[in-house]
Amino acid sequence: MSDLRRTPLFEAHQQLGGRLVPFAGFELPVSYGSILEEHAAVRERAGLFDVSHMGQLHLDGPGATAAVEWLMSCPVATLRPGRVRYGCLCNEAGGVVDDVTVYRLADEHWFLCVNASNIEKDYRWIVRHTPAGVEVRDRSAETALLALQGPASAAVLAACSNVDLGALPRFAFTHAKLGASEALVSRTGYTGSDGFELYCDAADALALWQTLCLAGAAHGLAPAGLGARDTLRLEAALPLYGHELDDETSPLEARLDRFVKLGGAPFLGGEAIARRRQAGHRKLLAGFELTERGVARAGCVLAQSGAEVGVVTSGAPSPTLQKSIGLGYVPPALAEPGTRLDVMVRGRALAAQVVRTPFVRGPVRVARKGDTRG
Amino acid sequence: MADYDIPQELRYTREDEWVRIEGERVVLGVTDYAQQQLGDIVFVELPAVGATVERGEPFGVVESVKAVADLFGPVSGRVVEVNATLAEQPELVNQDCYGDGWMLVLEPDDPAEIEDLLVAGDYRQHVKDRAD
């Protein structure tokens, strides 16, 4: 495992008994004991994740806003400093280079939080499609990212910060001091529950982690690993790059219509995305649940009447629903809720049914006007 | 090495099944090491009574939230009892892998095969070798 990178919190994970596994080139905890307990902590109280493996790419200087508007599938010029939006970087063929959150720090200063496995690809992509006057910097290595997620998250922050972060709207961010650590605090997340993402200097990561653990103790906060992160995001039907999204798949096939500004400002890949929609998509992402015992996993074939119709992109037992759920691509006619499908698991057909997503609607606060994602 | 319960009186496979000899029959399940490695178990797929199990061949599957693991026959034999409770309560494998989390009772074809299984000390070494 010597070629794997470590986050600034590696020793903390070891001390907590984290089961460390390779993920996107990093050595990260899949869980500290029980994925189910960590999942429940996030849904019911609060969980703390180290997601420092994720990348931060900054665009700074005159023309940065126009560059980000051209690069992103979602509208960004209307975003005020202090606001975040989710969207995709798309290629000329309408496929997804990456799905990212984009932060407006100042008029002409932005950063994109990108998937760890795509940092280098995204950096090259952005540099290639950004005018010379805009400085593009990869600040991933010097930036740590903690995700504090769950209904008690605001209370945890209230116990250790100098700013009323509970008043922060969803998809907004601000700077705050937590204990002795400075952080950029964003009301965003990847779990379907309320929560915050906290960016800080890598050198401050351990102090911030400890501050949050200490403040969270009274609220039942638990450190949580990649395993719970995956079951939580799947219940919320949030896509994972490399599973639901890739360089070939259109964001519309992945049902990300809300984050694609067709008819709005032109953007890289927009014409191809519109053309592909016009021609009719051959596949659409659908959520399904198993109606019998078993677990559908990524890679399982989806079938109907014995004929292969698609493939599972993500699948897991849902701890909240106590049944197996999954996402997969099927022909548009089979993506309607109520459609019966079979999931092929070890040569057996397990009965499944297409359902509406998200599978679990988190008790997230009512989205405010202007939010792009509830 | 983390702490794993490896009872002295049981025999073991290299694939992390345990076997307890009860007269002419053997009871089997997965070890503490296996259940800890898998994490929260959510589904156990076992053969029916009357089915045959082959030594070293997969006879069932254990699924945790994150992983899938095959179960391998410690000895060849016929299934005479199945722990049906595991269909409803697969978490028993995590909670009590040597007790209520048992999986099958087999009637071995050749009781001499049991002698080929690892004793506790050798199994402990096998676990340790993989942890290092």
Q: Are A180 and A207 in contact, with CB atoms under 8 Å apart? A: yes
Distance from CA of A359 to the nearest CA of B (A): 17
Q: Tell me which residue of B24, B69, B73, B10 sits closest to B47, measured CA to CA.
A: B73
Residues A192 and A225 in one domain: yes
Q: What is the DSSP code string of chain B?
A: -------TT-EE-TTSEEEEEETTEEEEEE-HHHHHHH-SEEEEE-PPTT-EE-BTSEEEEEEESS-EEEEEBSS-EEEEEE-THHHH-TTHHHH-TTTTT--EEEEES-GGGGGGSBPHHHHHHHHHHHH-
Any idea what the CATH number is for the domain that residue A82 is in? Answer: 3.30.70.1400
Residues of B in contact with A230 (CB under 8 A): 66
Please tell me the predicted confidence (pLDDT) of residue A367. Answer: 41
Distance from CA of B81 to the nearest CA of A (A): 21
Domain assignment present for A266: no
Asked if the model's pLDDT at residue B30 lies above 70, the reply is yes
Q: Closest-CA residue in chain A for B86?
A: A293
Residues of B in contact with A294 (CB under 8 A): 43, 45, 63
Does B61 contact A at CB distance below 8 Å? yes
Q: What is the tally of structural domains in chain A?
A: 3
DSSP A358: -
Please tell me the predicted confidence (pLDDT) of residue B131. Answer: 77
End residue of a domain, out of A117, A138, A159: A138
Q: Are B84 and B60 in contact, with CB atoms under 8 Å apart? A: no
The residues near A167 (Cβ < 8 Å, ≥ 6 apart) are none
pTM of the model: 0.94
Identity of the residue in B40, B45, B63 whose CB atom sits nearest the CB atom of A34: B40
Residues A199 and A297 in one domain: no
Domain assignment present for A241: no
Domain assignment present for A268: no
Residues A190 and A300 in one domain: no
End residue of a domain, out of A235, A270, A302: A235
Please tell me the predicted confidence (pLDDT) of residue A361. Answer: 86
Domain assignment present for A246: no
Mean pLDDT, residues B71-91 taken together:
97
Distance, first Cα to last Cα, chain A = 39
Domain assignment present for A171: yes
Domain architecture of chain B: domains with CATH: 11-100+112-126 (2.40.50.100)
Any idea what the CATH number is for the domain that residue A19 is in? Answer: 3.30.1360.120
Q: Say if the Cβ atoms of A297 and B43 lie within 8 Å.
A: no
Q: Per the structure block, which two tokens stand in for B25? A: 């029959």
A296 by Cβ neighbours in 10 Å (0-12 / 13-18 / 19+) ranks as buried
Domain assignment present for A257: no
Identity of the residue in A19, A230, A295 whose CB atom sits nearest the CB atom of B43: A295
Phi, psi of A165 (to 5 degrees): -75, -20
Residues A204 and A134 in one domain: no
Does B70 contact A at CB distance below 8 Å? no
| Dihedral angle computed from the Cα positions of residues A17, A23, A27 and A33, in that order, rounded to the nearest 10 degrees | 0
Any idea what the CATH number is for the domain that residue A303 is in? Answer: 2.40.30.110
In whole angstroms, how large is the CA radius of gyration of chain B?
14
Cα–Cα distances (Å) from A265 to A66, A71, A128, A182, A255, in that order, read 10, 11, 20, 36, 20
- Indicate the SS3 state at residue A41: helix
Cα–Cα distances (Å) from A264 to A69, A81, A110, A311, in that order, read 10, 21, 20, 33
Residues of A in contact with B40 (CB under 8 A): 34-36
Distance from CA of A171 to the nearest CA of B (A): 30
Residues A152 and A32 in one domain: yes
Domain assignment present for A363: no
Does A319 contact B at CB distance below 8 Å? yes
Residues A71 and A218 in one domain: no
The residues near A268 (Cβ < 8 Å, ≥ 6 apart) are A70, A71, A89, A90, A91, A92, A129
Residues A151 and A26 in one domain: yes
CA within 13 Å, CB half, A367: 12
Q: Which residue range forms the structural domain that includes residue A22?
A: 10-54+142-235
Identity of the residue in B39, B43, B66 whose CB atom sits nearest the CB atom of A294: B43
Does A346 contact B at CB distance below 8 Å? yes
ipTM passes above 0.85? yes
pLDDT tens for the 374 residues of chain A, in order: 468 999 999 999 999 999 999 999 999 999 999 999 999 999 999 999 999 999 999 999 999 999 999 999 999 999 999 999 999 999 999 999 999 999 999 999 999 999 999 999 999 999 999 999 999 999 999 999 999 999 999 999 999 998 999 999 999 999 999 999 999 999 999 999 999 999 999 999 999 999 999 999 999 999 999 999 999 999 999 999 999 999 999 999 999 999 999 999 999 999 999 999 999 999 999 999 999 999 999 999 999 999 999 999 999 999 999 999 999 999 999 999 999 999 999 999 999 999 999 999 866 543 443 444 43
Q: Say if the Cβ atoms of B66 and A317 lie within 8 Å.
A: no
Q: Closest-CA residue in chain B for A293?
A: B43
pLDDT in tens, A133-186: 999 999 999 999 999 999 999 999 999 998 999 999 999 999 999 999 999 999
Residues A37 and A156 in one domain: yes
- Indicate the SS3 state at residue A58: strand
Q: Tell me which residue of A175, A179, A173, A183 sits closest to A156, measured CA to CA.
A: A179
Residues A40 and A172 in one domain: yes
Please tell me the predicted confidence (pLDDT) of residue A374. Answer: 34
Please tell me the predicted confidence (pLDDT) of residue A2. Answer: 60
Identity of the residue in B43, B45, B65 whose CB atom sits nearest the CB atom of A35: B65
Residues A63 and A47 in one domain: no
Residues A126 and A84 in one domain: yes
Asked if the model's pLDDT at residue B76 lies above 90, the reply is yes
Q: How many A-B residue pairs are in contact by the CB < 8 A criterion? A: 36
Distance from CA of B66 to the nearest CA of A (A): 7
Q: Are A230 and A240 in contact, with CB atoms under 8 Å apart? A: yes
Residues A35 and A150 in one domain: yes
Domain assignment present for A249: no
